[in-house]
A = this chain, B = another copy of it.
């Protein structure tokens, strides 16, 4: 593959992960190339297949290109808690690959397409191009933020609020990678999954869906969510989207280089 070919192909490469990164960093064409070169293979996985299994080592960073997945933990008593629902642009293996062995599993909620690169390869690049290390940091921070939101959700919000918040959050992340319109989006996952994400039982979640519908805040047709009163919904959910800061661009000073 020549540099020219790569340049063209990178121009065409509109992977959701790139959209994610551009939120907080300006990527040069060369950097997009580097990132693209890191991808070892593309992977298609069918619905219900586990991508990462709790207790086993995983050392890849897999960028979700298409489809939904969920990071979850299965407890001894058979209960399942979904840590977060993952959409295009999210990364499988963050944080799992940074542990001796994964402590959570990841399952494909729909058929899914991944772009896989090895963590070791990525780290190697970080040594030469420090900006990649920072990107990884920023992504990890976003990951942490998303879990933190879920903690607040489950810990101190009422079930309706939780559901509203969940819908708004997913929507926001889909908008970011251009996978949804301003007021509606496809949510191709079952209520059982959502209930495990929100720490509710299926019947109760169903009631909460009904509540949002009867209160005229959303409509659902064929697993497509449409926001009717987005303002009211945001208010109900205490939804305040967090904006990531951009990575500061710093010119190393001469004397710092010596120190």
Cβ of A43 within 8 Å of any chain B Cβ, yes or no, is: no
Distance in Å: Cβ of A27 to nearest Cβ of chain B: 16
**Measured CA separation A120–B247 after assembly (Å):** 9
* Cross-chain contact A100 with B243 (CB below 8 angstroms): yes
Interface 9-mer from A62-70, A135-143, A210-218: A135-143
Residues of B within 8 A of A190 (CB): none
Would you give the 0/1 interface string for A4-27, flagging 1 where the beta carbon is closer than 8 Å to chain B? 000000000000000000000000
8 Å CB contact of A98 from B150, B156, B245: B245
Closest residue of B by beta carbon distance from A54: B240
Residues of B within 8 A of A83 (CB): 148, 151-152
Cβ of A172 within 8 Å of any chain B Cβ, yes or no, is: no
Closest residue of B by beta carbon distance from A97: B245
Q: Can you tell how many copies of this chain the complex includes?
A: 2
Cβ of A104 within 8 Å of any chain B Cβ, yes or no, is: yes
Would you give the 0/1 interface string for A51-77, flagging 1 where the beta carbon is closer than 8 Å to chain B? 000000000000000000001010110
Residues of B within 8 A of A95 (CB): 141, 144-145, 148
Residues of B within 8 A of A34 (CB): 259
Interface centre among A129, A242, A247 (most CB of B within 10 A): A242
Cβ of A252 within 8 Å of any chain B Cβ, yes or no, is: yes
Cβ of A124 within 8 Å of any chain B Cβ, yes or no, is: yes
Residues of B within 8 A of A136 (CB): 133-134, 137
Closest residue of B by beta carbon distance from A199: B155
Residues of B within 8 A of A151 (CB): 81, 83, 147, 150-151, 154
Distance in Å: Cβ of A250 to nearest Cβ of chain B: 4
